[in-house]
Amino acid sequence: MKKIFHFLLIISLATAATSCKKSDPPLPDNTVGFEADKLGIEAAATETVVKINLSRASSAAIPLTVNLNNAGLSYGLEYTTEPAATNNSLSLTIPAGGTTVSFKVKKVANAVINGTETIDFTISAAGNPIVLGTIVKTQLSFSAITSEGSRLTLKGIAGSEAGSGALNSVFVDLSSNSMVNVKRDSWVLGFASGTDFRVKLNNTNGTSAIKLNAKTDLNAVTATDVVLNDLAIKLGTPESGTEKPFVNIDNVYGDVTKDIIASVSATDAENKVYIVNPAGGSHSSTLSLDNLFKIRVLRKGNGYVLQYAKLKETTFKTLDITKDAANNFVFITFDEVAKTVSVEPSKAKWDFVWTWSVYYGLMGTAPYPYGFSDVVFVNNLGGAQAAQIATSTVAYADYKESNIAGTTFKAERNVIGSDWRSTSPATGVKTDRFYVIKDASGNVYKLRFISMGAGDAGKRGEPVIEYALVKKG
């Protein structure tokens, strides 16, 4: 009897499973398209990158054909592409498991270009089962553009991976319809390029640090000088009179004067040794003496000298760092040796960044460190400002140039922060607000978030934004 029951149970479960599969809704079409319908390449630039994206990863490689239509210039004389085009056509492939492919447009050296030239790129064919999306054509102007607006999908994830702790920080420049994706763990320290001498930690990868007040000689620092737990970020611990959970991370509100590493003094003896854990706050990190670095930063003219070594090493190396006026920071990472890396675009070429970061939550009025997904920081150091607008005051569609005078812009990096989205009851964007951003050139854009999770039919790690030019600077 038991055997008969078990047999019937197996049939019943199998039937139920089959029934569930039949009732599952089909996936929407997997579409392909350019990131934006208009792009520009400035007079001083020698090349630019054009990106094509799938709406989701494909299990098979996807071949694409892109046609070129030139206006005012000729292939090979004024510009080329990488990969090379044949008969005004590019053959590209999005790899299996991937979601994007790109190609470069390069100016030919010494070519005469007056800035009125354009190239139209059109996706004419895509391999099955891919469907052509809404932006199958983009126009590249050989001059800077001021976008009238667009809709962009921020690619915070990589390939088929998804989730809140996305791998990338995505820097967005509204006026050029452009995005730059950078892995969050690609850097450890940022050296300020302005008039001050400051060094910031990578909060987007949970970098922590402590100061050794009694030490100015790296070679004299050993493991006995470090209490390992002092580098642990106390996520979820509210700050009280005795508990100070923010003491080993940079200021989460963006106040650089309250960052962990003090302003670098012109007097060498005043610059102390710091112990740095490059990934102290990431969810999967494990504190280990072997992963720690000891560093000391000195001034050198209008730049810096970084002294560094692994904690247990008995001699240190040095790296000279020159300020770059076009950028907010010069970034470095530690490999076999410390080296500079590209992270942020130049300060005039991005307005905000979407990322994961150690940020803060509130328990009552007490703040606590929290690893925040989908947090947005404005490029306030580069001159961008922003304001949050309630739709009860004015609808997104109705916000016009006449509304700007009554808008209070803030030069704070966390004007948007995490306030644009909700994770309860279901992850999604808040539709009762939108944002207005004034970039460093004075262009004013209105911006709203369209989707980002299960609560709005979006994809976690790939938020969709929409924006429109309100006033040209």
Asked if residue 4 has pLDDT above 60, the reply is: no
Confidence of residue 20 (pLDDT cuts 50, 70, 90): very low
What is the pLDDT at residue 424?
Answer: 85
Question: Domain limits at 379?
Answer: 348-471
Indicate whether 293 belongs to any domain. yes
Instruction: Calculate the average pLDDT of the chain.
Output: 92
Indicate whether 386 belongs to any domain. yes
What is the pLDDT at residue 158?
Answer: 61
What is the pLDDT at residue 2?
Answer: 39
Please compute the mean of the pLDDT values over residues 397-415 and round it to a whole number.
98
What is the pLDDT at residue 159?
Answer: 53
Q: Tens of pLDDT along 362-382?
A: 999 999 999 998 999 999 999
Indicate whether 323 belongs to any domain. yes
DSSP letter string over 385-428? EEEEEETTTS-GGG--GGGGGG---B--TTSSBTTTEE-SSS-E
Asked if residue 5 has pLDDT above 90, the reply is: no
Same domain? For 261 and 375 the reply is: no
Same domain? For 337 and 361 the reply is: no
Same domain? For 96 and 195 the reply is: no
What is the pLDDT at residue 9?
Answer: 36
Same domain? For 317 and 377 the reply is: no
Give the domain-ending residue among 84, 113, 145.
Answer: 145
E-strand ranges in 87-228 read 89-94, 100-107, 118-126, 131-132, 137-141, 149-153, 168-173, 178-183, 189-192, 199-201, 208-212
Asked if residue 162 has pLDDT above 60, the reply is: no
Residues sharing a CB contact under 8 Å with residue 387, sequence separation 6 or more, in sequence order: 407, 408, 409, 410, 415, 435, 436
Same domain? For 416 and 273 the reply is: no
CATH of residue 124's domain is 2.60.40.2030
Lowest mean pLDDT among 59-73, 129-143, 279-293: 279-293
Please compute the mean of the pLDDT values over residues 103-125 and round it to a whole number.
97
Q: Tens of pLDDT along 36-73?
A: 999 999 999 999 999 999 998 899 999 999 999 999 99
Indicate whether 47 belongs to any domain. yes
Same domain? For 200 and 338 the reply is: yes
How many C-beta neighbours within 10 Å does residue 380 have? 18
What is the pLDDT at residue 425?
Answer: 85
Same domain? For 199 and 322 the reply is: yes
Same domain? For 352 and 336 the reply is: no
DSSP letter string over 307-322? EEEETT-SS-EEEEE-
Same domain? For 380 and 257 the reply is: no
Indicate whether 23 belongs to any domain. no
Indicate whether 415 belongs to any domain. yes
Same domain? For 199 and 310 the reply is: yes
Give the domain-ending residue among 289, 324, 342.
Answer: 342
Asked if residue 335 has pLDDT above 90, the reply is: no
Asked if residue 152 has pLDDT above 80, the reply is: yes
Asked if residue 215 has pLDDT above 90, the reply is: yes
Please compute the mean of the pLDDT values over residues 122-135 and round it to a whole number.
96
Asked if residue 23 has pLDDT above 80, the reply is: no
Asked if residue 132 has pLDDT above 70, the reply is: yes
Same domain? For 279 and 220 the reply is: yes
How many C-beta neighbours within 10 Å does residue 400 have? 11
Indicate whether 164 belongs to any domain. no
Asked if residue 407 has pLDDT above 70, the reply is: yes
Tokens, residue 26? 């089909």
Residue 365 per-residue DSSP state: T
What is the pLDDT at residue 365?
Answer: 95
What is the pLDDT at residue 278?
Answer: 92
User: How many structural domains compose the chain?
Assistant: 3
Asked if residue 279 has pLDDT above 90, the reply is: no
Contact status, residue 231 vs residue 275, Cβ threshold 8 Å: yes
Confidence of residue 1 (pLDDT cuts 50, 70, 90): very low
Give whole-number Cα distances, 33 to 14, 101, 132, 174, in Å. Answer: 40, 10, 7, 18
Confidence of residue 19 (pLDDT cuts 50, 70, 90): very low
Same domain? For 255 and 371 the reply is: no
